[in-house]
Structure 1
């Protein structure tokens, strides 16, 4: 009976998947526009998933986390998009956090 329970647990866990690192709201609340630097963002959130430059030459970085529960259930997604000014300080940012398809 114990072996069956362990097998079921392993099967359930094998169906879970995640990408990135969870983005904590307490960390996001510490971002200050015009003050928080790119290096501070790296310290707090790690390396971004992607980086690009806008038409004005400002750096945009995206931190992303997604979790999909067993058998594709319970998807959660977080996305932190940050635009930096020429001095590499946060110009503006947008944080989305939730379950796709849920309102």
Structure 2
């Protein structure tokens, strides 16, 4: 029984060590709460936190982005010798971009997702 616990603990450690995420995740259902022409910049920042990037146009419009990335190492990566040939990682990046007019009112937003698969 102790051996099983040790094996389980080691497997759980490897599984956790193989994951990484960064940025601010904005989910599709959260976007449904946004109302073009009504939701303000202050409300968005209150809900999602500060954006990952912000740009102001010459007309005074503000364009902000929330980017979230997740990366997970493939299980084979952790196998000695085999990992060098069969290992790698999978990743997913989501990007939500919002445009506000010069008064700070939401005009438009877009959401996109990119997936990657990296092999050694």
Normalised to the residue count of structure 2, the TM-score between the two structures is: 0.73
1:63-97 C-alpha deviation (Å, 9 max, x unpaired)? 11111123454422211101110110011111113
How far off is 1:21 after superposition?
3.1
**Structure ID, larger Rg:** 2
Unaligned runs of 5+ in 1: none
Task: Indicate which of 71, 83, 93 corresponds to 2:109.
Answer: 93
- Aligned pairs, how many? 101
Does structure 2 conserve the Cα–Cα contact (< 8 Å) formed by 1:50 and 1:61? yes
Distance 2:25 2:60 in 1: 29
1:24-54 C-alpha deviation (Å, 9 max, x unpaired)? 2121012111111001101221111111112
Q: Is 1:79 the counterpart of 2:85 in the alignment? A: no
Partner-residue secondary structure (3-state), 1:75: strand
Unaligned runs of 5+ in 2: 75-87
Deviation larger for 35-44 or 5-14: 5-14
* Alignment match, 1:20: 23
Q: Is 1:35 the counterpart of 2:26 in the alignment? A: no
Distance 2:11 2:72 in 1: 15
Normalised to the residue count of structure 1, the TM-score between the two structures is: 0.83
